[in-house]
Amino acid sequence: MTDTPTLFRPLSLRGLSLRNRIVISPMCQYTAHDGHLEDWHLVHLGRFATGGAGVVFTEATAVQKSGRITHGCPGLWTDSQIPGHAHVAQFALRHGAVPAVQLGHAGRKAGMQRPWFGNGPLTEEDFARGDMPWQPVGPSPIPVAEGWPEPHALSLQEIQTLVEDYAAAARRALAAGYRIAEVHGAHGYLIHSFLSPLSNRRSDAYGGDLAGRMRLALEVTEAIRAVWPDELPLFFRTSAVDGVPDGWSLEDTVVLARELKARGVDVMDCSSGGIAGAATAAGGAKRQPGFQVPYATRVREDAGLATMAVGLITHPEQAEAIVSEGRADLVAIGREALVDPSWPLHAAVALGHDRRFESWPEQYGWWLVRRQDSSEFYRPGGEG
Ligand SMILES: Cc1cc2nc3c(=O)[nH]c(=O)nc-3n(C[C@H](O)[C@H](O)[C@H](O)COP(=O)(O)O)c2cc1C
């Protein structure tokens, strides 16, 4: 009888107990219609719930219609969008996974191409498909990169409305049954563009020094926390570094994490990059296994806040080492879950936690353990 690997020890966050430390990272599907989730989303996210993850994140979900990244991105800006999310959330709950939603606004990157159509600003070809552009917004009229549209700089009144819309979307997320909300403060989208000195050149209360640039992130967090129940956790995804000279730094992230903690954020989800161009992970940093984990470790140590590590975490032993060595509290799996939606179940086998399909849905497990025990079962290298 071996000890339970840390990866498979339940984690309590406020009034919630996660069955393990594995989170499926938010991943845009560019497949929603007019901001409404589709059957695709239920199947896509449902596989992660039956695949054993502790938490399953729905992709970046816009709090305003104009805050969608692409025409195919979902939202929670109107009540008619609640049922689609409820379907996903209820399914996850029935299968032991905690449903989580990432609330965001694309800001300067709003209205771009779906990745498979180019991953850049919309072109004539996209217009011909019916994907018409709309006016992106940001802290200042500075485009994401050359060739991208110039954003409209939000007025104080528009910022006020935006903050209220975050709270309204959080209320809808709660009504849908989500148990975790995450503020999308990363990847060059609206909140990140206010944080970074590269994109924020405002001279009012929402720009200038670090406190000014953090103001929007903190006000959004406060507004969501005010409607998000005390017993449910709130996450914040940050781009821990811009990876561009004179950009947002890890030191800034630690300061932000302390402020977020004081406002009721429970977990800092540490990604990076995205401030210049379409890419997410920070330019400059070599993308190697777990390359963003040190950000999660630093925030955890210096801000005393629980963290989630993400980025090229693909192997069970790697994930186990991250959480057992205290480098992060949770690990988020993105693309590897697209390869194997049952990654957590397979990780449980690999780490010797479940060799008898006990954590599998009974519809599968009952059969699989019998097949495994039967003489018909082919074992590579075995007797056949
Ligand atoms: C298809 C796809 C869509 C993504 N959409 C989002 C998103 O909606 N929100 C977000 O914060 N990150 C998004 N990301 C980034 C992932 O959440 C994750 O941080 C990144 O893929 C690195 O983790 P990985 O190496 O395990 O894939 C997306 C990544 C992929 C591959």
Q: What pLDDT band is residue 107 in, cutting at 50, 70 and 90? A: very high
pLDDT > 50? residue 189: yes
Whether the Cβ atoms of residue 285 and residue 254 lie closer than 8 Å to each other: no
Q: What pLDDT band is residue 286 in, cutting at 50, 70 and 90? A: confident
Angstrom CA distances, 327 to 55, 162, 217, 257, 290, stand at: 19, 35, 25, 16, 11
**Considering the entire predicted model, what is its pTM?**
0.96
User: In sequence order, which ranges of 284-361 are alpha helices (DSSP H)?
Assistant: 293-303, 316-324, 335-339, 343-350
**Binding site membership of 27 for ligand 1 (Cβ less than 6 Å):** yes
Amino acid identity, position 267:
V
**Binding site membership of 280 for ligand 1 (Cβ less than 6 Å):** yes
Q: Residue with structure tokens 């480098």?
A: 327
Beta pairing class for 137-138 and 152-153: parallel
pLDDT > 80? residue 284: no
**Neighbour-count burial for 355-383, b at 16+ CB within 10 Å, e otherwise:** eebebbbeeebeeeeeeeeeeeeeeeeee
Mean pLDDT of 317-330: 98
Q: Which of 189, 206, 295, 378 is catalytic?
A: 189
Sorted by where each begins, the domain ranges of the chain are 6-353
Percent of the chain with pLDDT over 70: 96
Contacts 24+ apart (CB under 8 A), 10-14: 11/54, 11/329, 11/330, 13/180, 13/233, 13/266, 13/267, 13/306, 14/230, 14/231, 14/232, 14/233, 14/266
**Binding site membership of 26 for ligand 1 (Cβ less than 6 Å):** yes
Question: Which residues, in sequence order, are CB contacts of 294 under 8 Å at separation 6+?
Answer: 327
How close is the Cα of 59 to the center of ligand 1, in Å? 8
Percent of the chain with pLDDT over 90: 93
What pLDDT sits at residue 220? 99
Q: Which ligand 1 atom sits nearest the alpha carbon of residue 69?
A: 8
Is 166 catalytic? The answer is no
**Binding site membership of 336 for ligand 1 (Cβ less than 6 Å):** yes
Summarize pLDDT for 18-31 with one digit per residue, the tens: 999 999 999 999 99
A 10 A CB-CB count for 80 gives 10
Q: Which ligand 1 atom sits nearest the alpha carbon of residue 237?
A: 11
**Binding site membership of 197 for ligand 1 (Cβ less than 6 Å):** no
Substitution candidate for ligand 1 out of 25, 58, 192 with most atoms within 8 A of CB: 25
Q: Which ligand 1 atom sits nearest the alpha carbon of residue 310?
A: 23
The CATH architecture that domain 6-353 belongs to is: Alpha-Beta Barrel (3.20)
Distance (Å, whole) CA 257 – CA 267? 9
